[in-house]
Amino acid sequence: MKTETPTPTVEFVQRFSATRKAAVQSRLLALHTLDAWGLPRTCPTSESAAQIIAELAANAVTHARLPGRDFELRLTLTPETLRIEVSDALTESTPPPTPAAPSPDAESGRGLFLVDALSSAWGTRPREIGKTVWADLPLLPQ
């Protein structure tokens, strides 16, 4: 009789300076980490994760940046789900629970709309200093 050994939860946490360059670096490092966890860059989960991380990190450094404060990326992989969390230092810039569709000619404003479309669930939670925006991705067959 063959039984499967449950895969333990694995986690990655890294702080980054609140700069555009660091936002790009966070996405690249996350893709490297996912690849090491057995989710290659070309699998649907990693592709969606890269887009979500890019959007959340960009929001953290563009809309929630405080001088001298970093943002944090946390990835948590369970057998069923990849959770992506980006934490920043600004509580006042909490995103709306349901993002509005951007107008076709808008040059920005699509980030959370994409996060909502790509994830199975997403939301925010306050922290002692700042907030965390999280998104869940179900693990898809590769």
Q: What is the mean pLDDT of residues 43-47?
A: 94
Pick the residue with more confidence: 105 or 130? Answer: 130
Q: In the prediction, which pLDDT does 79 show?
A: 92
pLDDT tens for 15-35 read: 999 899 999 999 999 999 999
Pick the residue with more confidence: 5 or 52? Answer: 52
122 contacts 111 by C-beta, under 8 angstroms: no
Q: pTM, whole model, 2 decimals?
A: 0.83
Q: Indicate whether 142 pLDDT > 60.
A: no
The amino acid at residue 102 is P
**Nearest Cα to 138, choosing from 96, 84, 86, 98?**
84
Alpha-carbon 73 to chain mean position: 7
- Alpha-carbon distance of 61 to 123, in angstroms, equals 18
Cβ of 70: how many Cβ atoms within 10 Å?
A: 18
Give the C-alpha distances (Å, rounded to integers) separating 7 from 3, 41, 81, 90: 12, 20, 12, 35
Domains and CATH numbers, the chain: 10-100+109-138 (3.30.565.10)
Looking at 8-17, 43-52, 87-96, 112-121, which range is the least confident one? Answer: 87-96
Name the DSSP class of 38: T
**Nearest Cα to 135, choosing from 107, 99, 109, 103?**
99
9 contacts 76 by C-beta, under 8 angstroms: yes
pLDDT tens for 59-115 read: 988 865 566 678 999 999 999 999 999 999 866 665 555 555 655 554 455 678 899
Q: In the prediction, which pLDDT does 101 show?
A: 60
